[in-house]
Amino acid sequence: MNDGRLSTAHEKAHILAEALPYMREFSGKTVVVKYGGNAMHTPELADLFARDVVLMHLVGMHPVIVHGGGPQISDLMRRLGKEPEFVDGLRVTDAETVDIARMALVGKVNREVVSSLNRHGSFAVGLSGEDAGLLTVTQRDERLGFVGDVSHVDPSIVERLIREDLIPVIATIGMGVDGNAYNVNADTVAGAIAEALGAEKLVYLTDVAGVMSDYPNEYSLLSQLDVSDLKALIEAGSVGEGMIPKLESCAHALENGVTRAHILDGRIPHALLLEFFTREGIGTMVYP
C-alpha cells in the first residue's frame, strides 16, 4: 500500500516538473479565453474551468475571460413571452431584445462566471463592453436591429484590472456610436480584445475536438496549422458553420499581433491546463 502511495506521489511530482517550464514561459503573459459551450453549461466542467483559470492566474499568467450566452438569452426571452427570431443564423435584436440580452449576459451569465471563479480565489471582476468605452461597435445589418460589429477596442480598463492582479470577465454587449447598446458575437469580441491587448494566446473553448480538415470526421483533426491553411479550409467549406466566426477571428488576431491561437474541446476536463502545461497539448494550435 505504501508503494502504491509512493508511486502516485512520484506521478504527481513528474506532472508538476513537466509543467514548470511552461509556467515560466507563460508567466506575465496575457491569455484571452472565449468561454462557452458545455464548459460553461455543465456544472462540473464549469467548476474545473474556474479552478484552471485561477491556477493560471496564481502561477503568473494574466487570463482574460470573454463570454457570450446565446442559449441564456433565448431562455430569458421565452420566459418573458418573446420568441427568438433569426436571420441567416443571427438573432434579430430589437430594442426589447437587446435589453433582454443585457439582462441575460451582464446580469446573469457574467455574475455566475465571476462567482464561480471567486469561489477559488477573490480575483475575478465582471464588466461588459459598455464599461469605460471598452467596445465601440457599428450596426451590422438593419434587418438584425441592435447587433453590432466591433469597430474599436479601448483596452484601458482591462489593462488596469490586470495591473491590479485581477481577472477581467467580459460580457459581450458593446456601445454603438449612436449611444445604444448592441449585442456582439463573442468569438469576434475575444479576437478583437486579444489584438488590443497584444495577447500571447487566444483560446476558444468549443464543443468539438478542434479544427478538422473534413468536418465532422474527428479522425481528420489537425493538431496545428498556420493562418494560410486556416483560410484555405474556410474557403473550401471544410469546417462546420458554427466554427467559421472563431476561425475568422483567429486569423485576424494572428495577423494583428497575437502570437498563438488555440481551438480546444471544452468537454475535456482541465482542457486549459492540458494545453498550456503538458507536452502533448490538445485540440488545434494556429500560428501566423
pLDDT of residue 3: 55
Cα distance between residue 167 and residue 169, in whole Å = 6
CB within 8 Å of 93: residues ≥ 6 apart? 101, 144, 145, 146, 147, 182, 183
Of the spans 9-23, 136-150, 225-239, which averages the highest pLDDT?
Answer: 136-150
How confident is the model over 45-57, as a mean pLDDT?
A: 96
pTM of the predicted model as reported, rounded to 2 decimal places: 0.94
User: Radius of gyration (Cα) for the chain, nearest Å?
Assistant: 19
Summarize the confidence of residues 171-176 as an average pLDDT: 97
| Tens-place pLDDT, residues 177-192 | 999 999 999 999 999 9
59: three-class secondary structure by DSSP: coil
Helix, strand, coil percentages (3-state) for the chain, rounded to 5, are 50, 25, 30
- Give the DSSP H or E segment for 99: helix 95-102
Average pLDDT score over residue span 101-108: 97
- CA–CA separation, 31 vs 197, rounded Å? 9
What is the pLDDT averaged over residues 193-204? 97
Q: Provide mean pLDDT across the span 158-186.
A: 97
pLDDT in tens, 215-240: 888 888 999 999 999 999 988 888 87
Cα–Cα distance measured from residue 122 to residue 103, given in angstroms and rounded to the nearest whole number: 24
Give 93's DSSP letter: B
**CA–CA separation, 17 vs 19, rounded Å?**
5
Asked if 135 and 119 count as a contact pair (C-beta separation under 8 A), the reply is: no
Across residues 23-49, what is the average pLDDT?
A: 93
DSSP 210-239: S-BTTTT-GGGB-SEEEHHHHHHHHHHT-S
Report the C-alpha gap between 8 and 25 in whole angstroms: 27
Cell numbers 421565452 correspond to: 78
Residue whose entry in the numeric block shows the C-alpha cell 496564481:
58
Q: How confident is the model at residue 5, as a pLDDT?
A: 60
Report the mean per-residue pLDDT for the chain.
Answer: 92
The residue-averaged pLDDT of 142-151 equals: 96
